[in-house]
Amino acid sequence: MRSRYAAYALGMPDHLFRTWHPRTRPAELPVPDETRWTGLDVLDVVGGSADEATGIVEFVAHWRSGDQQGVLRERSTFARRGGRWVYVDGVTS
């Protein structure tokens, strides 16, 4: 989760592509240049231990764009694939 946040913050679409499950990954991964990600708060983690195949992370990511600011709140599902965690999907609120 944190590496994906950092990839958005640093504009690294290659990392986002590699950490997105191929079943749900979009063909293109635009990373908006004008959005500056300013903080991440992990609110909840369910599952995801070493012996589990799936996990859920609920987070709030803070952003700024020009003179606007806000938050993105999402409950994300991750799956272990080839020994690594990949993003499957998420529900925003």
- Eight-state DSSP code of residue 20: B
- Eight-state DSSP code of residue 5: H
Q: Which residue has the higher pLDDT, 30 or 1?
A: 1
- Per the structure, the complete domain to which residue 60 belongs is given by 2-92
Q: How many domains does one find in the chain? A: 1
- Eight-state DSSP code of residue 53: S
13-69 pLDDT per residue, tens: 999 999 999 999 999 887 777 899 999 999 999 999 989 999 999 999 999 999 999
Q: What is the pTM of this model?
A: 0.92
What phi, psi does 27 have (nearest 5°)? Answer: -65, -40
68-79 pLDDT per residue, tens: 999 999 999 999
CATH of residue 66: 3.10.450.50
Cα–Cα dist 76/42, whole Å: 11
pLDDT score for 29 = 82
Among 66, 19, 22, 61, smallest CA distance to 38 is for 61
